[in-house]
A = this chain, B = another copy of it.
Amino acid sequence: MRNGTNIITEYITLSSKGENEITDITDEVKTKLNESKLKDGIVTIFVVGSTAAITTIEYEPGLQQDFPDMLERIAPKDYRYMHDDTWHDGNGHSHVKASLIGPSLTIPFVESELSLGMWQQIVFLELDTRGRNRKIIVQLIGSK
């Protein structure tokens, strides 16, 4: 498929309720893709900020608990972090978890459909210690 590559930037804004909340944003990304009329290409989903992350997961209540539980074992909240010694905001563990998972996800789409599995949803993870207003970039690069 030649030429005619389009770049479209959209946003998702959300207010998270608190630490370890996982939000399914698949439908919003699908809506942006449908509205773009693009057929083949990639969508990059990127969360602004250093205490949140984007990944995919089977979005069901069990894993919404299991995934944060695993992250807590890796980076316990009650551990001593140098970040907190300096800044006293008590979210050192939030930062290291966010850097490990990463803020970015790129997903191909083909014939206007996201290449996700049936049990694979795009999720936003709030890792900070309190609810926050969040901005997520949804940028589509593709051909019509």
Contact = CB atoms under 8 A, between A and B. Distances in A.
Contact of A102 (B6, B102, B110): B102
Interface residues of A, number: 64
A55 B95 CA distance: 12
Contact of A82 (B4, B56, B62): B62
B103 A104 contact: no
Contact of A92 (B63, B75, B82): B63
Given A7-B41, A65-B82, A75-B70, A120 B103 contact: yes
A86 B64 CA distance: 12
A119 to B, nearest CB: 5
A20 interface: no
11 contacts: A3-B5, A5-B5, A7-B142, A9-B110, A56-B99, A62-B82, A62-B85, A66-B82, A66-B96, A70-B100, A103-B120
Interface of A: 1-9, 40-42, 44, 46, 48-50, 55-58, 60-63, 65-67, 70, 73-75, 81-87, 92, 95-96, 98-108, 110, 115-117, 119-120, 137, 139, 141-143
